[in-house]
Amino acid sequence: MNQLSVGWERCAWEAAPDTPMSRRERAAARGTYLASIPPAISGMDFDIASDVAAEAEDALLEISRFDAELAAALPRADGELAPLAVVLLRTESASSSQIEGVTAGAKALAIATLNESSGQNARMVAANVEAMQKAIDLADDLSTASILAAHQALMHDQAYALPGRLRDGQVWIGGGPTPHTETFVPPRWERVPALMDDLVAFCRRTDVPVLTQVSLAHAQFETIHPFNDGNGRTGRTLVHAMLRRSGVTRRLTVPVSAGLLTNTDAYFTALGSYRAGDPAPIITQFSRASFAAVGNGRRLVSDLNAVYAKWQQDLTSRRGSAARRLLPHLLSQPAVTVKYIQEHLAVSQPAAQRAVDQLVDAGILRQISTGKRDRAWIARDVIAALDDFATRAGRRS
């Protein structure tokens, strides 16, 4: 057996009598099932083919170049980093959620970010944004605790997932009522704490090429499946924490999940190959996803630059006005309320409303709700650019 291949152990199982299932499923659920035993990888050596390793290094250089070249690609808001950092964080979070079948368009996500009325999927994606940011903020302190913090942010309102806690029971991948016939059965919950400590130790190594290390760490995380739910999304936050920790990215969240969306079947197949002992496919998938993400990200920033240039021409208000100061904010938060404008520009309610009126007159904002108490406005050009990004990534908007 390859040293990277998962092992297996037989475990006892008894389905609850009231578990809804067919006679065929109940017959298959009798007796023991096989749970995986992932190997410890913290001290493992990996023999990666030279062409796979070279492609990974090329992809890593492209990520680093993208991070550097776009640091000042869009106008700044309040002296902070260009809003592209927020834009890419949200697009990556939305793409990561879409891999798990959770879809929210740019408009719904922008509204959810305001804590306004929004659908469940949009709220879930908004939580993924928070989890992604939490993981990146904790990159220098990469530990089981920081991974738990990211999971807490992601699943905070879903009690069944035990937010911020490792699972305390068996899970399986495939959707059936018992683990006996599923696609993959992760390890028993008792093994999870030690496996997570081993994974963190691997993540902290400095002798493994970065993108190879990131790819293998992600695959190992998904194999351990340490949570009741939210494993895929939390595992992809680990990718960005590691890229930030290694110094490859300093400013941006490169939308690697959007790259993975171009071929999700290949991504899931590569995870299966990793569990069978072959790490090359998952490294290749991350390399190709990185190239796709950078290309798509460059197209997005070009589109947003064009939007901003048009706004500058269309808006007639004076330089330094609240309306003009709001423009950079709209690139990263294309849905706003008067309250949002007051808080982010530190202006009075009348000044905020005047800015909205000027932007509406210029065709930059459009009202999307009715009534005086729940009015919000949307920057349609930004929404269109973000939805185009999603379409190119293969994600429904």
End-to-end CA distance of the chain: 44
**Ligand-binding site membership of 305 (annotated):** no
Long-range CB pairs of 47-51, under 8 A, 24+ apart, other chains included: 48/212, 48/279, 48/280, 48/283, 49/280
**Ligand-binding site membership of 231 (annotated):** yes
Catalytic residues: 225
Look-up: residue for tokens 């959770």? 102
Burial of 104 (0-12, 13-18, 19+ CB in 10 A): buried
**DSSP 3-state of 34:** strand
**Ligand-binding site membership of 79 (annotated):** no
**Ligand-binding site membership of 105 (annotated):** no
Q: Rounded CA gap, 18 and 201, in Å?
A: 42
Q: Rounded CA gap, 234 and 230, in Å?
A: 6
Largest interatomic CA distance in the chain: 76
**Ligand-binding site membership of 232 (annotated):** yes
Residue type, 86: V
Q: What is the signed CA dihedral for 54, 56, 58, 64, rounded to 10 degrees?
A: -150
**Ligand-binding site membership of 233 (annotated):** yes
Q: Please say whether the beta carbons of 236 and 177 come within 8 A.
A: no
**Ligand-binding site membership of 235 (annotated):** yes
Q: What's the number of CA atoms in the CB half-sphere (13 Å) around residue 186? A: 27
Look-up: residue for tokens 């919950």? 189
Q: Rounded CA gap, 301 and 221, in Å?
A: 32
Residue type, 142: L
Annotated binding-site residues for ATP read 229-236
Annotated binding-site residues read 229-236
